Structure 1
Amino acid sequence: MKKLDFPPELELFINKLEATVKPYVEIETHLRRNVSLWQSKFAGFPYLPKNFDYPKTPEGDYLYLLAQINFAEVPHLEIFPDKGILQFYLARNELYGFDFKNPTNQTGFRVIYFPNPDSNEDNLVTNFDFLPTVWENNQLGDTPFYVFPSYNPHKDDCFALNFSLKYAPISDCDYRFEELIGTEIWEVLEENGNAIWDEYRNKFVEGHKIGGYPHFTQNDPRKLLNEEEPYILLLQIDSDGSAFETIYIEWGDVGVCNFWIKESDLKNLDFSKVLYNWDCS
């Protein structure tokens, strides 16, 4: 069992919290240019074989690349792929491609997996002049990327990603939290103006990640699903101000985005039924 540094005020709950600890991959972002087509990134241009149609909405509008994960660069997590490139695309609108009625409907978003990426650039699309960049007319609130007025983005700007294997207990906003930890912990978390709560979230819950437990600003949408097999966290992209005064990642009003998948689908590398959700305060 991985031992973690819990706030001392949570001593009475440590045994229950430790029983929920599991690994995840922490993601750090770095605003860069000229990141290769194969590299993991947020935004930018994708790995795209020449014989593969770029994803569009049913109306024919191009989706934009939200995230690309090259699993050859990622510390291995059980069940998750150890190779291949996984991509997440969104439609450009005020809901970021989200369908409230059917969050698995891949018309406003798309998840694409290439199990055996081609290393020969001659076989890839390298000219994306046909594609409007995510930075064009970007202050309209139709993407989670906000470009500061003082910054002039380059078409090749994107967020390069670094990965680290980490461990964390169940998040306080996971729908199973009370069932596994109990309700008495809330009084402790809310003491001192929620300082302990903030410390717990900052250390174990918030941020970009692959796998692990989720972060929400509102409620866990899985609680309302009548599914025999639960969804597990595939990818979380949080609001991120690390590139302040250049490009800021923000979901609505400092929200967070999650993509979910059933374990059986993940084992089969079937990303056709991924559940997409984002919320904000």
Structure 2
Amino acid sequence: MTNYRLEDLGCGEALRAILREEISDAEIAAIESTIRPFVAIEATVSGSNSPLPWESRFGGRPYLPTGTDYPHIDGKPAPLLAQINFAEVPPLDGFPTSGILQFYVVDKPIWEWNHSWFATADRASMSYGELMELAGAKVLFFPDPILLVEAVTTDFRFLPSFEHSLVPERLDLRFQIKLAPMDAGGLNTWVETLRESEFFAENYDYALRELSDRTSNDALLEEAAHLLYGDGHRLGGYPAFSQSDPRAQLFPLAFGESFPPYDLLFRMVGQPGVNLHDSILYFLIPPADLQSRNFSNVLFYSDR
């Protein structure tokens, strides 16, 4: 396992110097121990009117092999949220290097989604796929996509216009490996030495605010601040939940003591062209399932 340092985030000694003003070297070392790579996703308005069906995208129409049923949620065709072609993604440990992963969401405004699906009384008798649909999402994976236009569906006139689509205009995606530690909430929840430190949460929060105040004339520090806050769309890495971590508080209540560990698979945030407003969408997966390319036990959570 690689041991990363704050300087690996790309901002030299400046970040360490700012954090040292508020937290100890031991606490900084604990933060550094959580640094791991993830895939940052940049989404921009598409520059192509005729993208290939298998290209990565937010929104638009999906790659769908001929004869494959279009996914439905609540009895209606579901809008494509995101399509990831792993042949276009830089390698990330544990993640596929090929295949197409798709995320769909229910066709209704986000404030009408079932945000408390995990509290349903009959959860124990439901499969994870049924729970995903109850939450308003669906995941499909094509491990061996056929890269021939004549082998895929290209006529989607049978679909509605998706008036409530979160991504009304298709966005092209670019991928880049980056490094980041756990966000502040994760550090306070999962790192025992920091959780037990009496003033760490308060001091680290102050250090992050101080960091943000100093980024106006330093692009590298600004990028470091985004990484420490856990901003942006991503594959892998840490979820950086905007409120409490459902894996620590909500899911165990619903699933019991046998609830397995879950890591972040994919996260989407609001930006121009992605109409999430203040919500963040998380798709979580057991690490063992990700290794085996089993996407049938993914859980969906939307944070508001």
TM bucket normalised to smaller:
0.7 to 0.9
Instruction: Please show how residues 146-165 of structure 1 align to structure 2 within 5 Å.
Output: 157-165=169-177
Taking structure 1 as reference, are residues 144 and 120 closer, same or farther at Cα in structure 2, changes over 3 Å only? closer
Instruction: Please show how residues 123-138 of structure 1 align to structure 2 within 5 Å.
Output: 123-134=151-162, 136=163, 138=164
Cα distance in 1 between the residues matched to 2:208 and 2:293: 44
Cα distance in 2 between the residues matched to 1:188 and 1:268: 41
Unaligned runs of at least 5 residues, structure 2: 120-127, 214-221, 253-257
- Residue in 2 aligned with 1:153? none
Q: Compute the displacement of 1:171 (Å).
A: 1.2
Q: Percent of pairs identical after alignment?
A: 33
1:8 lines up with 2:17 in the alignment: yes
| Deviations 1:58-88 (CA, angstroms, capped at 9, x unpaired) | 42x1001000000001111111111000000
2:208/2:225 contact within 8 Å kept: no
Cα distance in 2 between the residues matched to 1:214 and 1:123: 36
1:237/1:256 contact within 8 Å kept: yes
**1:218 is paired with a residue of what secondary structure?**
coil
Instruction: Please show how residues 207-222 of structure 1 align to structure 2 within 5 Å.
Output: 207-222=232-247
1:144 lines up with 2:203 in the alignment: no
Q: Compute the displacement of 1:180 (Å).
A: 4.8
Q: Whose helix proportion is higher, 1 or 2?
A: 2
Unaligned runs of at least 5 residues, structure 1: 148-156, 242-246
Cα distance in 2 between the residues matched to 1:55 and 1:261: 20
Cα distance in 2 between the residues matched to 1:254 and 1:208: 14
2:66/2:151 contact within 8 Å kept: yes
- Residue in 2 aligned with 1:76? 91
- Residue in 2 aligned with 1:106? 132
1:9/1:188 contact within 8 Å kept: no
Equivalent residue for 1:25, pick from 39, 61, 74: 39
Per the normalisation by structure 2, the TM-score is: 0.76
Q: Compute the displacement of 1:250 (Å).
A: 3.5
Q: Compute the displacement of 1:51 (Å).
A: 1.2
Per the normalisation by structure 1, the TM-score is: 0.82
**1:122 is paired with a residue of what secondary structure?**
helix
Query: What letter matches 1:181 in structure 2?
Result: L
- Residue in 2 aligned with 1:116? 144
Taking structure 1 as reference, are residues 36 and 7 closer, same or farther at Cα in structure 2, changes over 3 Å only? farther
1:90/1:97 contact within 8 Å kept: no
Cα distance in 1 between the residues matched to 2:240 and 2:284: 12
Count residues with an aligned counterpart: 256
1:216/1:255 contact within 8 Å kept: no
- Residue in 2 aligned with 1:43? 59
Aligned-residue CA RMSD (Å): 2.4
1:276 lines up with 2:300 in the alignment: yes
- Radius of gyration: which is bigger? 2
1:53 lines up with 2:84 in the alignment: no
Cα distance in 2 between the residues matched to 1:110 and 1:268: 19
**2:117 is paired with a residue of what secondary structure?**
coil
Query: What letter matches 1:10 in structure 2?
Result: L
Taking structure 1 as reference, are residues 118 and 97 closer, same or farther at Cα in structure 2, changes over 3 Å only? farther
Cα distance in 2 between the residues matched to 1:203 and 1:169: 8
| Deviations 1:90-138 (CA, angstroms, capped at 9, x unpaired) | 111234754522394132311000000001111100011111233x3x4
